Structure 1
Amino acid sequence: MSTLHVCPLSRLASTVALTGASHIVTLINMGTPVERPASIPVSRHLFIGVSDITEPLEGHVLPGEEHVTRLLDFVHGWEREKPLVVHCYAGISRSTAAAFITACALSPTRDEQAIAETLRRASPTATPNPRLVATADALLGRDGRMVAAIASIGRGAEAFEGEPFMLPLA
């Protein structure tokens, strides 16, 4: 079974090493230095320079359709033989949104609520970025079900950064 692993930037190298991941998705502010582990070729590392915001804010990059489209294209190209690691700075908002979006995209008949509940059990701090989720919901034609599912699990526990966790795809 393929798995998604979510972690903060500070645990990227150790999470890739521990899981044997073949692909990485980075969602982080532009200009933040990210050292790609040597085991991951450039072609298997998607960097999305986006801020963790839900409304326009001067000096920041608002998540949008182009970011989610790039994520969806990348994960559809992942052969799923080895794990995928998704990270942001804290491993709480952008990365958990991307993991939820990936699980929904790669399991189109799986119930969004079940995926959201699995996410909450895996990470008590997960607080998926609602703008990323809403954008993906529209692109995937989920008719608001992704948004509702994430709203139902509520905000995660407060933390400076989340603990790495695994989200199964099925």
Structure 2
Amino acid sequence: MGFSMQSLSISMLTICGISELPEQKERAVTHVLSILDPDHPDPEAFQAYDPHHRTILRFHDIINPIEGMILPQPEHVEAVLRFGEEVAAGSIERTRGHLLVHCHMGISRSTAAMLTLLAQTHPDEKEDRLFERLTLIRPQAWPNSRMIAYADDLLSHNGRLVDGLRRHYGRQIQRQPQFAQWMHDLGRGCEVEMAA
């Protein structure tokens, strides 16, 4: 699949959780990628936003199959990349844009989606630099490993994005050791074990 994105005329990138959405409404958001649990109501905060381009994806923040839950799938990451293409296509007539990506907590699904968009926008940038950019946007970023593996495949990174993710997890555990326990508690211990 030929996903590419020209340099965005997006001057601001934000990642947040649902509880933080109200405080973003004053910041002229032009594009929103919402990632929600399948049964979660649409956040009311968006009713107060100025008109914007919004894409909504619904799947659970899991990395292994769980009965009755929807795993992230390749088509979800393809939808993230299509969103990136739409942002790039619509950015020509506008000088400044503000792209907001959110999930429930702003830690896992949204940061995986933003990393995917960064990799799409900067195809020649080293993977560690992409994760540095992500951490500047959202210091507590712990991207969903399943989503990153699909992004790696769809963007033809040949395993380099996943290797970058391993190093990112290692840095995050050094910065915030409690991440290791949180992820074990969430049934995502294999991501902690991935940490390089």
TM-score range, shorter chain: 0.7 to 0.9
- 1:75 paired to 2:84: yes
Where in structure 2 are there 5+ consecutive unaligned residues?
1-8, 183-196
CA-CA distance at 1:119 after TM superposition = 2.0
In structure 2, distance between residues paired with 1:126 and 1:30:
22
Which of residues 83, 88, 99 is equivalent to 2:103? Answer: 88
Q: Does 1:25 align with 2:33?
A: yes
Deviation at 1:103, TM superposition (A): 0.5
Higher strand share: 1
Say which SS state the counterpart of residue 154 (structure 1) adopts.
Answer: helix
Q: CA deviation at 1:51?
A: 0.5
Contact 1:86 1:98 in 2 (8 A): yes
Percent of residue pairs bearing the same amino acid type: 30
Q: 5 Å matches for 1:139-158?
A: 139-154=154-169, 156=172, 157=176, 158=178
Report the residue type matching 2:27 in the other structure.
T
TM-score by length of 2: 0.73
- The secondary structure found in structure 2 opposite 1:52 is coil
Question: For each residue in 1:136-170, what CA deviation from the matched residue of structure 2 results, as whole angstroms up to 9, or x when unmatched?
Answer: 1100001111111111011643489xxxxxxxxxx
Between 63-72 and 33-42, report the one with greater CA deviation. 33-42
TM-score of the superposition, structure 1-length normalised?
0.84
Question: What does 1:18-167 align with in structure 2 at a 5 Å threshold?
Answer: 18-35=26-43, 37-38=46-47, 39=49, 41=51, 44-78=53-87, 79-80=90-91, 81-154=96-169, 156=172, 157=176, 158=178
Please say which structure displays the higher CA radius of gyration.
Answer: 2
Where 1:85 maps in the other structure, the secondary structure is strand
Task: Check whether the contact 1:9–1:34 (CA below 8 A) recurs between aligned residues.
Answer: no
Deviations 1:89-134 (A, max 9, x none): 0010001111111110111112221011232344332100000000
The verdict on how the C-alpha distance between 1:60 and 1:146 changes in structure 2, with shifts beyond 3 A counting, is same
Q: Distance in 2 between matches of 1:144 and 1:32?
A: 33
Q: Which has the higher helix share?
A: 2
